[in-house]
Homo-oligomer: A and B are copies of this chain.
Amino acid sequence: MTTKTSRKGKKEFNVKFLPFDASVKVSSGTILLDAVKKADLPLKTTCGGKGTCGDCVVQIIGGAYQSKQSAALSDKLASQGFCLACQTKITDNITAQLPQFRELTIKIIVDSRFFEEQKDRISGLYEIDPAVKKIELDLPPPTLEDNYSDLKRIERELQKKLSLKKLNCEYSVMKKLANAVRKDKGKISVILFRSGNEETIIDIIPQSEGKKLYGLTCDIGTTTVALHLVNLSNGKIESTVSSLNQQITGGEDIISRINYAQKPGGLRKLHELIILTINNLIEMASRSAQIAPSDIYYASLSGNTTMFHLLLNLEPRYIREEPYVPTFNEVPSILSRELGLKMNYEGRIHCAPAVGSYVGGDITAGLLCTPFLRDSKKISLFIDAGTNGELVVGNKDWLVTCACSAGPAFEGSGIKCGMPASEGAIEEIKMLGSGKLEYKVIGGTKPKGICGSGLVDLLAELFTHGYVDRHGKYNEKKAIKKIIEAEEGKGFIIEEGKNSFWGKNLVITENDISNLIRTKGAVFSACSLLLKNVGLSFDKIDSFYIAGGFGQHLNVENAIRIGLLPDLERDRFHYLGNSSLLGAYLILLSDKNSGLAEEVAQKMTYIELNTEPNYMNEFTGALFLPHTDIKLFPSVRQIFNY
């Protein structure tokens, strides 16, 4: 890198941006955020460069810079070279890592009780017969009378153990076959991949090398990406990790991502960002489970249709242009190396089948975790309250589905103190009569923030105890010191800085509450419209299955209190957690489940809610706590004596 002096006598510097292969030249003193814009790279900023939102955080890896201190950035991060791009002047040739979400890749502590509950629910589908298998062979030594080729001798021994219809062998395996077969005198581990009636040899390893066989399952959410690392010989989940989807710098929802992809190089960038996100997760999960990424031979992925298009580097624009035609619903088998995923060279990728542009593989995978597919009499409703919300109503014989744009609030995104359900997150909150909060933190540390389930509790408690009115505004009359005037308007202090992990107050603002209400309103009104469309009312629904990024728990009482769920007998509700991830796990374990997901996808009928004339009415009515029409929530009405 060289420093040049421009015509006007001002020095010019070179700014290199990672993880992209991009550089720009700017004059001395340029604000880093402007350099990012000049390079046409994605970087989120909510406050418009005021240094308050903290969204434009980047890490300077090389070179000097001048950065203003900001409340939005902890000293701990600042000391590691993190800075806000909008508050940083360029005074040298620098290399900046953006977006720096690597540290947001986190290990999730899975509550074993929660997982056992989930396992009970899916017990009918819990079978370990994955598409990728390890078979141990002991080849008899060849002789002059029996000198078939190595490949033929392997096929002959496999035939004794499996009923092979057609056997293929990958070229990469052929290249090492002769020596692998001879190293341990015929004792080999053969890794097979099954597709339909065919088996393909995707690896051969001398047994003395003790090859392990792992798979992974990954839910690619618009906001959050979660991953299980799974031992394929016993189905055990060895590690669970989660991260923000680094694409978030290219827009928060599906539509803005699709728009971003239309910029020159935009699609490639979004593709690279999701691959980077998943690779970071694979790296962390592998390290935690003490395996090599090359031990991972199979990935079962779930996600919405847009996320899959971006993952696969496919043109997404026709998803949002009428008549909303995606490139695919069922993705053909793809190799990990074609995408650049850190797995075995011959790793296989399975993508859960989609219904259409707006109901994706996350939903078909999620439905595997419900009894929808086994019951012809009772009708159930499935709600996935993700950034893009999807709903399914029906039973074994019929399924109708729709989508709504809910927003990422319940995943802890777009909320000042929101965070994913990982170590340090407040997951349960109870308000005592005194207004004092009791809460439970995942991992038992000082709180870092609040995850979805905690936010539902918090909003319900603030509302119940009169701190927040039906419009989601703070009640001026409750003039106690917990309600403060923050930079972004009024806020409620959940925990003071001295007791929090990062040393800063945990505050929920009116703006945050308004985000939460919009999200719950979008979900509730979509449920309501969907049922009207199929001629049913809420009370005709036998079971409600709720999925989303809330965490491992959801207080149904509180969810009804804020109007997220309808006011019915509490035992009709079942919280699934991340059903998309769990469904992908079922598909990973057995390719029979993959076939089942395809059936489900083909059975679903999609209806478009946006074209419904009542859509805006329904939505607006739901923007209250719990709803404009309080008659819909008799148990809430009773509490407040409306």
Contacts from A to B (Cβ < 8 Å): 142-144, 146-153, 166, 168-171, 174-175, 177-179, 182, 196, 198, 312-315, 317-318, 322-335, 338, 354, 356-357, 608
A594 to chain B, nearest CB (A): 14
**Residues of chain B contacted by A338 (CB below 8 angstroms):** 171
Residue of B with least CB distance to A150? B327
Q: Is the CB of A315 within 8 A of B149?
A: no
Residues of B within 8 A of A151 (CB): 327-330
* Neighbouring B residues of A150 by C-beta, 8 Å: 318, 325-328
CB of A323 within 8 A of CB of B175, answer no
Contact partners of A143 in chain B: CB under 8 A: 323
Could you tell me if B325 and A147 are in contact, using CB atoms closer than 8 angstroms?
Answer: yes
Q: What is the minimal beta-carbon distance from A234 to any residue of chain B, in angstroms?
A: 31
Which of chain B's residues have a CB closer than 8 A to the CB of A324? 144, 147
Are A357 and B147 neighbours in the complex by a CB distance under 8 Å? yes
> Interface of chain A, helix or strand or loop or mixed?
loop
A166 CB contacts on chain B under 8 angstroms = 196
A323, B142: Cβ atoms closer than 8 Å: yes
A360 to chain B, nearest CB (A): 12
Contacts of A170 in B (CB 8 A): 332
In the complex, the answer to whether B327 meets A177 with C-beta atoms within 8 Å is: yes
Task: State how many angstroms separate the Cβ of A486 from the closest Cβ of chain B.
Answer: 46
17 A-B pairs in the complex with CB atoms less than 8 angstroms apart: A142-B325, A144-B322, A144-B323, A147-B324, A149-B328, A150-B318, A150-B326, A152-B329, A166-B196, A168-B333, A169-B328, A169-B332, A171-B334, A174-B328, A175-B313, A178-B314, A178-B315
Question: Which residues of chain B have C-beta atoms less than 8 A from A142's C-beta?
Answer: 323, 325
CB-defined contacts of A331 to chain B, threshold 8 Å: 174
**Chain B residues, CB < 8 A from A153:** 325
Which of chain B's residues have a CB closer than 8 A to the CB of A313? 175
Q: Which 10 A-B pairs have the closest CB atoms?
A: A178-B315, A147-B323, A151-B328, A144-B323, A149-B329, A169-B332, A142-B325, A149-B326, A171-B338, A168-B332
Partner of A327, one of B144, B174, B330: B174
Contact status of A149 and B334, CB under 8 A, knowing A179-B315, A312-B175: no
CA distance A11 to B149 in the complex (A): 53
Known: A149-B329, A171-B335, A177-B328. 16 other contacts (CB 8 A): A142-B323, A144-B324, A147-B323, A149-B326, A149-B327, A150-B318, A150-B325, A150-B327, A151-B330, A152-B330, A166-B196, A171-B332, A174-B327, A175-B312, A175-B313, A178-B314
Contact status B168-A327, CB under 8 Å: no
A573 shortest CB reach to chain B, Å: 33
Residue of B nearest to A312 (CB): B174
**Whole-angstrom distance between the Cβ of A197 and the nearest chain B Cβ:** 8
Chain B residues, CB < 8 A from A152: 328-330
Cross-chain contact A148 with B325 (CB below 8 angstroms): yes
Q: Which residues of B contact A148 (CB under 8 A)?
A: 325, 329
